[in-house]
């Protein structure tokens, strides 16, 4: 198993570095979080501060990707300086960073699900992150990229798996559930390839619940990203039609709206890990409060009722600006 199974919800929370390794991201208020200061050494220092805080609070899973700017590099320098022995790292290949440390770049990242890209990125990630790297994931697998049918890629991933690593994939968009279903059936030499799936699942985007239950039943670990919907399930989105219901629950439990959102995800037994995407300490602390929050059935029913149609959810996400 990649992630240790535990009744302790805090052990089911990890830290994703998508908002820490590069100046631009699509989280609401990202530029405010970074105080509009994108000097590389300061961002590395902030990343180290967040990793220290996460570790102090009990977080042991850390998630990166080559397209997250310098996330792997920042994480590597932290791992080498701290020498913790109980940290598990996951990273991803298939996208590469193209923003050049700019906010207004024409392209922030480009997808390339080819054997050439895998053979380039795998040794880079391995060198930076071993011996902590345990999970290597296809970044945003889609039918359009053909990665789940690319025998060269699948065979190479199988070779990596045979050397002691777990193999996963992340998914996004309206076809998430269908891609997960297809991935569950991928076998190489008679053995299922994928050990984990990283998926967008939250109060607003609940369309994958059935297939995630199925994946969990097969022993595939489910990692949730975008649990607060890129800031839409926080106090920064107070004009949203669902805000008042979230606010009432947050006030009742004396926590932030983000805590309510993440506690909802943690209530699901098929979820192995929920990632915080926080870039500053106060948001991470607030996110982690979800681990200690128990929602009753009535409250869970309220949150279930807030789900959106997938097309509407992803259209709204697609309109978020890099900042």
3-state SS record for the chain:
CCCCCCCCHHHHEEEECCCCCCCCCCCCCHHHHCCCCCCHHHHHHHHHHHHHHHHHHCCCEEECCCCCCCHHHHHHHHHHHHCCCCCEEEEEECEEECCCCCCCCCCCEEECCCHHHHHHHHHHHHHHHCCCEEEEEECCCCCCCCHHHCHHHHHHHHHHHHCCCEEEEECCCCCHHHHHHHHHCCEECCEECCCEEEEECCCCCCCCHHHHHHHHHCCCEEEEECCCHHHCCCHHHCCCCCHHHHHHHHHHHCCCHHHHHHHHHHCCCCCCEEEECCCCHHHHHHHHHHHHCCCCHHHHHHHHCCCCCHHHHHHHHHCCCCC
Contact 269, 213 (CB under 8 A): no
29-79 pLDDT, tens digit per residue, is 999 999 999 999 999 999 999 999 999 999 999 999 999 999 999 999 999
What are 93-146's pLDDT values in tens digits? 999 999 899 998 888 999 999 999 999 999 999 999 999 999 999 999 999 999
Band of pLDDT at residue 5, cut at 50, 70 and 90: low
pLDDT in the model for residue 6: 63
Predicted confidence (pLDDT) per residue in 50-63, tens digit: 999 999 999 999 99
* Gap between the Cα atoms of 96 and 166, Å rounded: 21
pLDDT attached to residue 1: 56
- Identify any residues that bridge with 197 across adjacent strands, giving them in sequence order: 169, 222
pLDDT at 106: 86
Global pTM exceeds 0.95? yes
- Domains recognised in the chain with CATH numbers: 9-225 (3.20.20.100)
Return the pLDDT at 7: 63
Q: How confident is the model at residue 8 (pLDDT cuts 50, 70, 90)?
A: confident
User: Which residues, including other chains, have CB under 8 Å from residue 37's CB and lie 6 or more apart?
Assistant: none
What is the C-alpha separation between 111 and 113, in angstroms, rounded?
Answer: 6
């Amino acid at each position: 198993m990649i992630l240790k199974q535990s009744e302790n919800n805090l052990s089911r929370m990890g830290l994703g570095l998508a908002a820490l390794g590069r100046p631009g991201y699509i989280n609401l208020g990202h530029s405010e979080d970074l105080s509009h200061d994108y000097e590389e050494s300061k961002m590395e220092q902030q990343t180290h501060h967040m990793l220290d805080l996460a570790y102090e609070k009990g977080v042991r899973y850390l998630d990166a990707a080559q397209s997250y700017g310098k996330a792997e590099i920042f994480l590597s320098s932290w791992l080498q300086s701290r020498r913790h022995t109980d940290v598990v790292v996951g990273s991803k290949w298939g996208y590469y960073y193209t923003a050049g440390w700019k906010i207004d770049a024409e392209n922030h990242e480009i997808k390339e699900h080819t054997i050439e890209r895998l053979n380039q990125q795998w040794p880079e990630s391995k060198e930076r992150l071993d011996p902590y790297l345990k999970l290597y994931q296809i970044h945003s697998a889609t039918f359009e990229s053909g990665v789940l049918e690319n025998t060269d890629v699948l065979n190479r991933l199988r070779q990596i798996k045979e050397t002691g690593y777990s193999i996963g994939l992340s998914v996004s968009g309206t076809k998430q559930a269908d891609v997960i279903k297809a991935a569950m059936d991928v076998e190489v030499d008679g053995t299922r390839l994928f050990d984990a799936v990283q998926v967008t699942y939250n109060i607003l985007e609940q369309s994958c619940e059935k297939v995630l239950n199925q994946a969990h039943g097969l022993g595939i670990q489910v990692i949730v990203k975008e649990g607060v919907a890129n800031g839409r399930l926080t106090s920064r989105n107070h004009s949203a039609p669902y805000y008042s219901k979230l606010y009432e629950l947050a006030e009742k439990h004396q926590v932030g709206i983000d805590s309510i959102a993440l506690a909802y995800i943690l209530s699901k037994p098929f979820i192995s890990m929920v990632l915080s995407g926080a870039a500053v300490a106060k948001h991470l602390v607030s996110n982690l409060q979800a681990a200690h929050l128990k929602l009753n059935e009535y409250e869970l029913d309220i949150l279930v009722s807030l789900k959106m149609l997938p097309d509407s959810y992803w259209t709204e996400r697609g309109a978020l600006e890099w900042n």
